[in-house]
Structure 1
């Protein structure tokens, strides 16, 4: 019985350890942060959450003029996009001008269009077995 319990404990420990290290690290460097006001908010999105819900993983840090790097740990293989917002006033949402244009800086991986919101297809990247890094310029 002791042997069976010991074996069970080892299997549980190995399974837990494996779960903690599955996936890769995705890092994003946000360039051209204009000031130290507020917070940088980032979301790692799938096609299902892009522009519809909170990302499957989120990261945030105090804004710092210049460049700031955020990371997402243990990301499973798949197709993703990252959206970043400089929430200068700290209300945890994007603020808009009366004409619908954003008041705060934002960016995404991939291609940004000049008019209209970004699409998942234009901003998506693939995560496989190696760590991934991206730069987003405000």
Structure 2
């Protein structure tokens, strides 16, 4: 009976530890300088395969609020990611451009690069490792 109790305890502990490992990391993104309350703030967490190609692996659509917006994404597995955010002021769920190709709406991207043209995953990537992470992006 004692052996059975020890076996059950060890099994339960290993199950609990594995469940915690699968939970992943929490990513908090602080978006500064939202200029007004118009429309929505669209955001997406991307891996290299989805970056600038498809919907992100985690996305959000939050009502725009002038000032600062805080987004939280949970259960992110360690790896390399990029984060994009757009203030979709007219709520058409896409970035609008001037006739010269410049964006009409505010946007931000992870990384410190300000490319003349579309960003690359290499420029925008950051690494999530073993602990929660916080990014600050500014429109």
TM range (shorter): 0.7 to 0.9
Helix, strand or coil at the partner of 1:61? strand
Aligned positions, number: 127
Q: Which position in structure 1 is the counterpart of 2:23?
A: 22
Aligned counterparts of 1:64 and 1:21: Cα–Cα separation in 2:
33
Q: TM-score, normalised by structure 2?
A: 0.84
| 1:90 counterpart residue number | 91
Mapped pair 1:52 → 2:58? no
Which position in structure 2 is the counterpart of 1:3? none
Unaligned residue ranges in structure 1 (runs of 5+): 1-6
User: Deviation per CA, 1:48-74, whole angstroms, max 9, x where unpaired?
Assistant: 111111101112211011110111110
State the superposition RMSD in angstroms. 2.0
Deviation at 1:114, TM superposition (A): 4.5
Give the gaps of 5 or more residues in structure 2. 1-7
Paired with 1:32 and 1:58, the residues of 2 have a C-alpha distance of: 20
TM-score normalized by the length of structure 1: 0.84
